[in-house]
Structure 1
């Protein structure tokens, strides 16, 4: 167990803008991408739910043993929101949260509109 002062971990919230609208409407591709991230970062998926809307925008929640990754896309305004939260119970996941957030930003070839880091 980690130091109790940082046990709850880091939560990164992002609003992103992209010119690649097709990525905002391809739910299955993003699910495949996140599954690769989970393997790369040795994170355990315990559940997943998603919904595709009439305009093919999507919302997905990946429930992890370590916490979660969520996304909501808005192709009509070329934006998405995502949040990545990992607790530090078994190890310090702070850098993983930042890396995964950057990888998601790169996946969408996006620019950051707003970024918030919350130490829980």
Structure 2
């Protein structure tokens, strides 16, 4: 069983990031799987966001994306493992390809999202 508690929430933009995901700003060459995201500078807070979990929900298309990109299960939980490079970062969160594909059509490239920090604890 998992217990989830939520912190601050916001609306924003999520983009798609393809592999390789290493090295990352938070963990170097330590593999943290694919349920991961890079945060923009504001969200990254100089590394304070490393290891934090965010629940991300696809809410719709952006003006540059595919119409109706969200899947029937538009919410995932990701761990922040990296900084989205300021020069190329086009959103608040840069989701791994695998994670983005779970909540939206990858052809969209970017989506509008609702995201909130959460803490996830497994309880047996």
Give the shorter-chain TM-score range: under 0.3
TM-score, with structure 2 as normaliser: 0.26
Greater C-alpha radius of gyration:
1
TM-score, with structure 1 as normaliser: 0.26
